[in-house]
Structure formats: structure tokens, C-alpha cells
């Protein structure tokens, strides 16, 4: 469909380019090792497993080069703000950087499996080549290196050797085990269940990537795979000597072949991204050392902590997010939070819901559990990294925007709605945005009462300015008990909503997205409409399908551009 292609074309193109480059590198390296004369004798012992191991190693180098780029937050924010990223499609692609990071990680996992299996086969074939049943040529090749003027080809020197023990004494073997164990730990701790339930486990284990990269650079120094040297190829005619191995040393055209390992190349692939990442870390460290002053602490009855902060030179845009660190809780952990203040305000704020050990500790450190006033100097020191751009910042680039939030996913829109109010109050600012449709789906509005208060303030101020048409909001309550239902029914005819206290009545149940999208498409028949969502994946997929279904095939018709908030 036209809508699907419009929203996903760049993502599909990027994925195809990435797959194409992986395929090209694999096939090109595979054929090089299958055809190159320098590896003729190595192939006699190892067969095609040699080419498989080397081809997957090239793809591993390529993907390890890419893996750090999508998580270089400062680089992505910089590109997002430059003129080359003026198009919405490019910015939407940058917002999917974490998805690309995961795709590349899958590429590393697949190539690592191929590489490991191929080398296990290689070790076994090296071992078999030392047996009498292997054949005369393989025996002769395996016997090379016993005399002082000879270089070896087979790293397994004797058939009686314990191959596992032998390999584990080599640089390639030890680093291979370290790399594999590290990769398994990183991948398993990155699963959604671990990230959500044990974020600290994910956070600490993910930093083993440093060990993984160091191991990767050292791994190639082992030079376990060996080929004929260029000088030896000039003297030793492989195509002739391969079939006349009995004449080696006797015939002048067949002197003993000399072998050497491949010089390490992984560092060439990783040098650029590692330097970039070190710069990224330096910028983050410099930011973390800048003084942050907590100006206000507000405790909401629903277990939400509101922090107002100030920091010299801090500039933000609506919908951006920051990373917070509290050294008294953990000197290593950084947690992302969406900014809930507007750029026009003199402070910046976050709303933190207590859902884990770290947020619980911060809640306690800020004196949120105590009823007594806590002096400012007794509040914990905080470090702030950011702000960073997110999908929500593009709301102002559309004439019509749909903002859809589920549960705690409402936080990115607090900043946006506040900023809309400030802009509407300033007659000197020209705004592209003409209409905002806001949808909020939650099980228990009391858990986010601070947001209902914000909506009430906006509703009152918009009514005073006679701009009620600008913002159309719809709140859907999906969870209630019998006593609540009775209370709702008794007060249904009142002007204010009994749940939120707003003029706009709350809807009960889930929204019918077909009806909502059809109505908005009819209201704005020839507009590009930005759809911004923050919430669970299942609803995200459903909304993405809606955007594709209701986007017109006609370029002059209505088009829904889907933007998903993720960090």
C-alpha cells in the first residue's frame, strides 16, 4: 500500500543496503579464500570451512564497525539538528537508531555462530590431517615445521595432542572464548524481560562491550589460519607441486613451501567507531560534571516524583529527553527520562514514577517519603546528560498532529502541550501547527494525576484565549471497578468529568481507531498528518497499520506519517 511504502520505504531501503553489503562481503571473501593460490594447501586440509570462517569474520568486522554508531546519542542529535536532516523521513529514520542497533546485533550473532562452527570444523580437520588415514599430501603438510628452516601450516603438531587444550593455549583460542562468552551475556541480558525486570543487570553487562572489542582486536593477532608467503609462491609453483609433492626438496621448482599467518585487520575496521565513541564518552563525562541545582521537589500521591532543575547553558526543545545519574545511588547507572517542562520555562523538569530499585532510592534520597521540608543542601547531587532529540520534537513540523499516549507514555507530551500553550500566548511567533488531536489511554488516571492537572490548566487557559479549537483531547479509561462505575453513573450529567475534573468527558473502554482515523482523514482531506505515539509495542503496530490504511494513494490526498517514541 501507498501508506506503508511512504512510512517504511527508507527503513526497508536501509535494511536492504545493510543486507546487500553483508552478502557482498561474505561472497567476495568466500571466493577469495576458495580461489587464492596462497591458500591452496590450507584448503587441502580444511576444505570450504576455511572460506566460511574468513567470510563470516569479514562480516563480523563490518557489523562491529556499525554497532556503536546508532548508540552515539550526541552524534545522532547533531545530525538531527543539521540542514542535511531537514526531511522528516530522515529524522524518523534517526529515531529508529536503536532498532538498527538491534538488527546489527542480530547480524553479529549470526556471523559469530557461522565463524565458531567453521573454526570447530577447521580444528577437527587439522587434527585429522595428522592421522595416517588423512592421505600423503596432508601428512606431508602437517609434518612441515619440524626442521629449523621450515615453517608450519598445521597448528596441531601431533595426532595424540588434546586439541581443546592446545587451542586454549593460543591467543586466538583464549580471546575466542572470551569474545563468545561476552557476546552470549550481552545478547541474553538484552532481552525485553531482563531489561524491564532487571535493568541494572542489563546496564552493567552491556558495558562488557569494551571487553568484547578488546578481545576482537587481539583475536586476529593469533594468526591461526596460515597461507603461503608471497616469496614462497614465486619459487614454489603450487599448480604443479601440489600433484608432485613426492618431488619436494628434490626438484628445484618445488622447494618446501613457506607459510605465515594473516596480519590482524580488525583494528582497521574498529578504529574510527572507537575513536568516535571515546569522543562521545568524553562529551557525556564533561556534561555529567556540570553543576545541576534542584530547585523544587514535588511529591504526587500516586508515587510520582516531580523534580525541577537548573543547569548553566541548558537548552531544550519540546519532547526531548535526558539521562539522569545520582552518584549517591550509583556512580555508573544513567536512566532516561522525558522532559516534562517547556523550553519557555526557567527550569527543566522530569516526572519519575517509582517502578524499580533505582527510582525507589531516588524517591527516598529526595525526601519524598518524609512529610517534613527537606533543606536544598540535603538533596542528593544529580548529573544530567542531554537533552537528546526524540520523535516528539517533530510535532511542530506538521499542520495537523495526532498525539497518542498509553499509561506512562504520556510524559513526552507534557512538554509539547506546555510549549503549545506558551506559543499560543505569544502573537509574535508564527506556528505551522494548526490542530492537535490528543489521545490518552490509561488504566488508572490517579496514577498520572499530575498530567490531568496540566490538562485542566491548559483547558482553562485555552478557553480564556478563545483557542479551544486548537487542542482536541480524548481520555480513555480502560480499568475501573464496580464502585467507580456507580460513582461515574451518578455524576454523569455534571459539567465536569467525575474522574479527571475536566470539561471533556472521559470515555470508557478502548478507542475505535478505525473511527478516529477515518474522522480525522475526513476533517483534513489534503494534509500530511503527523502521528506520534508513546506506549506498548502491540498498540504501536496497530497504529502503524492504521496510518498505512488511511493514507491516500493520491499524492494530493491525506497522508499519515507514523512516529514512535523510543529510547
Please name the residues in contact with 17: beta carbons below 8 A apart, sequence gap of 6 or more: none
Q: Are residues 252 and 304 in the same domain?
A: no
pLDDT tier, 271 (very low <50, low <70, confident <90, very high otherwise): very high
The domain in which residue 377 lies consists of 290-388
At 335, is the secondary structure helix, strand, or coil?
Answer: strand
Q: Is 1 contained in some domain? A: no
Q: Is 273 contained in some domain? A: yes
Contact in structure between 348 and 312 (CB atoms under 8 Å) = no
Q: Are residues 243 and 166 in the same domain?
A: yes
Using alpha carbons only, what angle is made at residue 561 by residues 559 and 565, rounded to the nearest 5 degrees? 160
Q: Are residues 338 and 230 in the same domain?
A: no
pLDDT tier, 18 (very low <50, low <70, confident <90, very high otherwise): very high
Relative to beta strand 435-442, strand 471-477 is parallel
**What gap in Å lies between CA 300 and CA 338, rounded to an integer?**
17
Q: Which of 226, 253, 281 is the last residue of a domain?
A: 281
At 229, is the secondary structure helix, strand, or coil?
Answer: coil
Window from 177-181, 232-236, 249-253, 398-402 with minimum mean pLDDT? 249-253
Please say whether the dihedral angle defined by the alpha carbons of residues 377, 382, 383 and 389, taken in this order, is positive or negative.
negative
Half-sphere exposure of 430 (CA within 13 A, CB side): 0
Q: Are residues 378 and 406 in the same domain?
A: no
**What gap in Å lies between CA 317 and CA 418, rounded to an integer?**
11
Instruction: Count Cβ atoms within 10 A of the Cβ of residue 411 and give its class: 0-12 exposed, 13-18 middle, 19 or more buried.
Output: buried
Half-sphere exposure of 293 (CA within 13 A, CB side): 10
Q: Are residues 352 and 427 in the same domain?
A: no
Q: From the CB of residue 541, how many other CB atoms can be counted at a distance below 10 Å?
A: 11
Long-range contacts of 331-335 (CB under 8 A, 24+ apart): 332/203, 332/204, 332/207, 333/200, 333/203, 333/358, 334/385, 335/199, 335/359
Which pLDDT does position 116 carry in this prediction? 93
Contact in structure between 328 and 381 (CB atoms under 8 Å) = yes
Q: Are residues 87 and 155 in the same domain?
A: yes
Contact in structure between 533 and 563 (CB atoms under 8 Å) = yes
Q: Is 340 contained in some domain? A: yes
Mean pLDDT across 21-27: 96
Which pLDDT does position 495 carry in this prediction? 54
> Is the omega angle on the peptide bond into residue 387 within 30 degrees of 0, that is, cis?
yes
Please give the tally of structural domains in the chain.
Answer: 3
Q: Are residues 259 and 314 in the same domain?
A: no
pLDDT tier, 543 (very low <50, low <70, confident <90, very high otherwise): confident
Mean pLDDT across 483-502: 50
Q: Is 5 contained in some domain? A: no
pLDDT tier, 508 (very low <50, low <70, confident <90, very high otherwise): confident
Beta bridge partners of 306: 298, 351
Per DSSP (E only), the strands in 339-382 are 348-353
Q: Are residues 143 and 106 in the same domain?
A: yes
Q: Is 7 contained in some domain? A: no
- Residue of 449, 444, 453 lying closest to 484 (CA atoms): 444
CATH of the domain at 499: 3.40.50.80
Spatial strand order of the sheet with 321-325 comes to 335-338, 321-325, 383-388
Radius of gyration of the chain (CA): 31
pLDDT above 70 (res 81):
no
Which pLDDT does position 491 carry in this prediction? 47
**What gap in Å lies between CA 40 and CA 377, rounded to an integer?**
73
Instruction: Count Cβ atoms within 10 A of the Cβ of residue 318 and give its class: 0-12 exposed, 13-18 middle, 19 or more buried.
Output: buried
Using alpha carbons only, what angle is made at residue 113 by residues 108 and 119, rounded to the nearest 5 degrees? 120
pLDDT above 80 (res 486):
no
Contact in structure between 322 and 386 (CB atoms under 8 Å) = yes
Record the cell numbers describing residue 242, joined without a space. Answer: 601440489
Which pLDDT does position 498 carry in this prediction? 47
Q: Is 40 contained in some domain? A: yes
Please name the residues in contact with 515: beta carbons below 8 A apart, sequence gap of 6 or more: none
Q: Are residues 35 and 166 in the same domain?
A: yes
pLDDT above 60 (res 84):
no
Mean pLDDT across 88-103: 79
Mean pLDDT across 85-110: 80
pLDDT tier, 54 (very low <50, low <70, confident <90, very high otherwise): very high
- Phi, psi of 388, rounded to the nearest 5 degrees: -120, 145
pLDDT above 80 (res 513):
yes
**What gap in Å lies between CA 533 and CA 56, rounded to an integer?**
38
Q: Are residues 396 and 384 in the same domain?
A: no
Q: From the CB of residue 555, how many other CB atoms can be counted at a distance below 10 Å?
A: 9
Q: Are residues 98 and 172 in the same domain?
A: yes
Q: Is 71 contained in some domain? A: yes
Mean pLDDT across 107-114: 95
Residues 201-211: tens digit of each pLDDT? 888 888 899 99
Instruction: Count Cβ atoms within 10 A of the Cβ of residue 389 and give its class: 0-12 exposed, 13-18 middle, 19 or more buried.
Output: buried
Q: Which of 251, 281, 311 is the last residue of a domain?
A: 281
pLDDT tier, 24 (very low <50, low <70, confident <90, very high otherwise): very high
Q: Are residues 414 and 442 in the same domain?
A: yes
pLDDT above 80 (res 163):
no
Record the cell numbers describing residue 244, joined without a space. Answer: 608432485
pLDDT above 80 (res 300):
no
Average model confidence (pLDDT) for the chain?
A: 81
Record the cell numbers describing residue 153, joined without a space. Answer: 601450516
Alpha helix (H) residue ranges in 289-355:
none
Q: Is 536 contained in some domain? A: yes
Window from 177-191, 266-280, 301-315 with minimum mean pLDDT? 301-315
Q: Which residue has the higher pLDDT, 518 or 354?
A: 518
Which pLDDT does position 448 carry in this prediction? 61
At 426, is the secondary structure helix, strand, or coil?
Answer: coil
The four Cα atoms 307, 312, 318, 319 give a dihedral, to 10 degrees, of -60
Which pLDDT does position 5 carry in this prediction? 54
Q: Which of 247, 281, 315 is the last residue of a domain?
A: 281
Amino acid at each position: 500500500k501507498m501508506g506503508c511504502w511512504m512510512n517504511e520505504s527508507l527503513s526497508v531501503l536501509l535494511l536492504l543496503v545493510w543486507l546487500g553489503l553483508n552478502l557482498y562481503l561474505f561472497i567476495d571473501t568466500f571466493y577469495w579464500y576458495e580461489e587464492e593460490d596462497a591458500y591452496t594447501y590450507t584448503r587441502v586440509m580444511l576444505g570450504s570451512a576455511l572460506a566460511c570462517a574468513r567470510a563470516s569474520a569479514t562480516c563480523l568486522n563490518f557489523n562491529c564497525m556499525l554497532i556503536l554508531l546508532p548508540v552515539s546519542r550526541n552524534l545522532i542529535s547533531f545530525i538531527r539538528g543539521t540542514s542535511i536532516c531537514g526531511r522528516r523521513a530522515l529524522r524518523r529514520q534517526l529515531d529508529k537508531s536503536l532498532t538498527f542497533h538491534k538488527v546489527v546485533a542480530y547480524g553479529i550473532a549470526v556471523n559469530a555462530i557461522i565463524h565458531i562452527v567453521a573454526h570447530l570444523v577447521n580444528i577437527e580437520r587439522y587434527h585429522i590431517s595428522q592421522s595416517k588415514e588423512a592421505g600423503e599430501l596432508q601428512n606431508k603438510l602437517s609434518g612441515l615445521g619440524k626442521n629449523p628452516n621450515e615453517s608450519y601450516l598445521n597448528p596441531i603438531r601431533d595426532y595424540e595432542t588434546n586439541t581443546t587444550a592446545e587451542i586454549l593455549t593460543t591467543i586466538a583460542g583464549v580471546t575466542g572464548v572470551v569474545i563468545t562468552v561476552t557476546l552470549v551475556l550481552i545478547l541474553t541480558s538484552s532481552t525485553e524481560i531482563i531489561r524491564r525486570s532487571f535493568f541494572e543487570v542489563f546496564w552493567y553487562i552491556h558495558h562488557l562491550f569494551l571487553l568484547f572489542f578488546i578481545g576482537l582486536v587481539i583475536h586476529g593477532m593469533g594468526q591461526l589460519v596460515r597461507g603461503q608467503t608471497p616469496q614462497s609462491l614465486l619459487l614454489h609453483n603450487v599448480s604443479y607441486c601440489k600433484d608432485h609433492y613426492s618431488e619436494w626438496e628434490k626438484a628445484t621448482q618445488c622447494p618446501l613451501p613457506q607459510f605465515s599467518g594473516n596480519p590482524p585487520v580488525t583494528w582497521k575496521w574498529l578504529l574510527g567507531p572507537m575513536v568516535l565513541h571515546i569522543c562521545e564518552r568524553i562529551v557525556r563525562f564533561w556534561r555529567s560534571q556540570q553543576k545541576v541545582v534542584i530547585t523544587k521537589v514535588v511529591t504526587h500521591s500516586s508515587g510520582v516524583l516531580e523534580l525541577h532543575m537548573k543547569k548553566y547553558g541548558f537548552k531544550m526543545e519540546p519532547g526531548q529527553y535526558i539521562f539522569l545519574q545520582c552518584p549517591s545511588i550509583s556512580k555508573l547507572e544513567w536512566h532516561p527520562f522525558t522532559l516534562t517542562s517547556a523550553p519557555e520555562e526557567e527550569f527543566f523538569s522530569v516526572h519519575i514514577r517509582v517502578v524499580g530499585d533505582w527510582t525507589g532510592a531516588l524517591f527516598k534520597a529526595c525526601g519524598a517519603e518524609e512529610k517534613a521540608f527537606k533543606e536544598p543542601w540535603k538533596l542528593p547531587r544529580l548529573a544530567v546528560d542531554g537533552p537528546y532529540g526524540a520523535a516528539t520534537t517533530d510535532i511542530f513540523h506538521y499542520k495537523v498532529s495526532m498525539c497518542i499516549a498509553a499509561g506512562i507514555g504520556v510524559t513526552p507530551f507534557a512538554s509539547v502541550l506546555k510549549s503549545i500553550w506558551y506559543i499560543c500566548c505569544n502573537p509574535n511567533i508564527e506556528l505551522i501547527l494548526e490542530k492537535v488531536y490528543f489521545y490518552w489511554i490509561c488504566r488508572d488516571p490517579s496514577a498520572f494525576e499530575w498530567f490531568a492537572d496540566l490538562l485542566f490548566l491548559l483547558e482553562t487557559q485555552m478557553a480564556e484565549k478563545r483557542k479551544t479549537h486548537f487542542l482536541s483531547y480524548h481520555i480513555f479509561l480502560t480499568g475501573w471497578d464496580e464502585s467507580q462505575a456507580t460513582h461515574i453513573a451518578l455524576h454523569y450529567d455534571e459539567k465536569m468529568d467525575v474522574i479527571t475534573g475536566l470539561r471533556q468527558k472521559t470515555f470508557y473502554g478502548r478507542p475505535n481507531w478505525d473511527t478516529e482515523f477515518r474522522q480525522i482523514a475526513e476533517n483534513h482531506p489534503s494534509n500530511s498528518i503527523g502521528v506520534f505515539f508513546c506506549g506498548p509495542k502491540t498498540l504501536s503496530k496497530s497504529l502503524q497499520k492504521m496510518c498505512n490504511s488511511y493514507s491516500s494513494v493520491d499524492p494530493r490526498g491525506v497522508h499519515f506519517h507514523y512516529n514512535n517514541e523510543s529510547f
